[in-house]
Amino acid sequence: MRKTRYEQMLVSDLVAARAEAPLVYVPIGSTEYHGFHLPLGFDAINAHELCLRAAQETGGVVLPPTYWGTRGHETFEGSLLLKEGTIATLVRDVLSQLRRLRYRLIVLFTGHHPDVQGVLLKRVADEFMAANPAVRVEVLDPFYIYPNELGIEHAGKQETSMMLYLRPELVDMAKLKLEGALDAISKDCVEATPEFGRELVEKVVTALVARVRAALEEMAGASK
């Protein structure tokens, strides 16, 4: 199995991985209310797990997940959501450091709110690429990279199923029987199964790998 977790690598591991593929995954999530049954850090945990699986196939390295995110269920218990400007500054700094380390393809993978956080990341990425044309930044997420009939949901069947498959020890389905447990989340969470989660994970990872490989091939062609 490849070494892909950036924070666990030796410098020699890092240099060898970059020589094979100058690719880095940046999983970005949030710390946000996800019902009574899912962990507050779901978005980051999920994004990190998906990136780790993709990197096994594409090469490259995966940064530790970012648990800071912007806008969502701000008023709910446990949510720690920051201003958009704060997240934009954080991501700009990360991109600048990765450019310094000579990564040429950076994948910003958001597990949180693609219609808000994803749009913000795309704006930051476009600005960064305009100033640094030698670096390509892809902004992706598990919802749009593999769209399905459930659409974008919050702590519903697909997110709950993915966590039941990826990190079942972090899920407590019994909490869904408590009063108020289905408030502010997708109520189809009660239909979640690890089997459906595995199916979703495999399809999202396949789509992510295809997008990354296509980007690497385009970059290789452009450099000839």
Task: Summarize pLDDT for 16-27 with one digit per residue, the tens.
Answer: 999 999 999 999
Q: What is the pLDDT, as a whole number, of residue 224?
A: 63
Instruction: Give domain limits for the chain.
Output: 6-219
Q: Considering only CA atoms, which of 149, 162, 156 is closest in space to residue 196?
A: 162
| pLDDT band with cut points at 50, 70 and 90 for residue 102 | very high
Contact 91, 85 (CB under 8 A): no
Q: How far apart are CA 94 and CA 86, in angstroms?
A: 13
Q: What is the CA radius of gyration of the chain?
A: 17
| pLDDT over 80 (residue 124) | yes
Task: Summarize pLDDT for 42-53 with one digit per residue, the tens.
Answer: 999 999 999 999
CATH of domain 6-219: 3.40.50.10310
| pLDDT band with cut points at 50, 70 and 90 for residue 203 | very high
